[in-house]
Amino acid sequence: MMAVLQRVSSAQVEVQDQVTGAIGAGLLVLLCAERGDTADCCERLLAKILKLRIFSDTAGKMNHSVQDMDGQGTAGGLLVVSQFTLAADVSGGNRPSFTAAAAPQDGWRLYDYFVSQAKRVHPVVQTGEFGADMRVSLVNDGPVTIPLRILP
């Protein structure tokens, strides 16, 4: 399972000109399930995301996680967007292959599980719509963009 995290001042996702999810400061999580991924992969990736210290303290050092962005117990938002194209393989030419991505039904099940677990343990979780044509807008803060991968 893999994700690309973007530290944001704000982010939102729209489907058919309707906002399906929006956050203020926090993390935009572009999430991709790969073949062979399991619920355990979701749990380990979520744990890593929630504890990753990429928000600045008063000295400007990256010392706070999204769970405690300001060091005062204030949690930032998570905007979780499915992104199967993270599994793209372009080694064979110029047209990407997505064979490493989980099959759609498995991808949806793992995405749904990841989101439900995130909502269980984090106070601010918004989402896109799995499989939809989405428009994602964000203000990248830093910029800070971090790729993560959890292997089964």
Query: One of 12, 55, 84, 126 is an active-site residue; which one?
Result: 84
Is 85 an active-site residue? yes
Residues 76-105 pLDDT 10s: 999 999 999 999 999 999 999 999 999 999
The CA distance from 71 to 56, in Å, is 9
67 touches 122 (CB < 8 A): yes
Q: What is the pLDDT of residue 38?
A: 97
Could you list the residue range(s) of the whole structural domain that residue 21 is in? 2-149
Instruction: Give the number of domains in the chain.
Output: 1
Helix and strand totals (H; E) in the chain:
2, 8
Flag whether pLDDT at 71 surpasses 80.
no
82 beta partners:
31
* CATH number of residue 68's parent domain: 3.50.80.10
Query: One of 85, 98, 99, 145 is an active-site residue; which one?
Result: 85
Angle (deg, nearest 10), helices 39-51 and 104-121: 40
Summarize the confidence of residues 48-64 as an average pLDDT. Answer: 95
Considering the entire predicted model, what is its pTM? 0.95
Is 84 an active-site residue? yes
Sign of CA dihedral 42, 22, 139, 54: negative
